[in-house]
């Protein structure tokens, strides 16, 4: 049996999620309160997949100085499809493709 650690990525697909992500920058709002608001916008994926998204600029941690690595937010919404979910497999390929001028 192969163990795979699953980690969260927030997919801010509507205004409610975008507003909650914006509140991550406010020091006075507890992380737990924001996490509960974002619960329905979280997608679990393998740790290596999240690292691929982070490394290629498709996601980032919001306010890591305040929140640590708790809130990884997807910035490139082209990786998320409502019927198929988060398609992270092409994260590295698309990063290379976008850098060619």
Pairing state of beta strands 72-74 and 42-46? Answer: unpaired
CB 98 within 8 A of CB 57: no
Could you report the per-residue pLDDT of 36-79, keeping only the tens digit for each?
Answer: 999 999 999 889 889 988 988 899 999 999 999 999 999 887 77
pLDDT classification of 89: cutoffs 50, 70, 90? low
Neighbouring residues of 91: CB distance < 8 A, sequence distance ≥ 6: 49, 52, 53, 56, 58, 79
**pTM (predicted TM-score):** 0.79
């Amino acid at each position: 049996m192969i163990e795979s650690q699953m980690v969260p990525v927030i997919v801010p697909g509507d205004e409610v999620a975008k507003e909650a992500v914006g509140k991550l920058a406010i020091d006075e709002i507890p992380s737990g309160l924001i996490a509960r608001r974002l619960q329905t916008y979280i997608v679990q994926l393998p740790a290596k997949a999240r690292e691929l998204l982070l490394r290629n600029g498709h996601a980032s941690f919001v306010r890591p100085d305040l929140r640590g690595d708790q809130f990884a937010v997807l910035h490139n919404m082209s990786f998320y499809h409502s019927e198929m979910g988060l398609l992270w497999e092409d994260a590295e390929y698309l990063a290379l493709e976008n850098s060619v001028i």
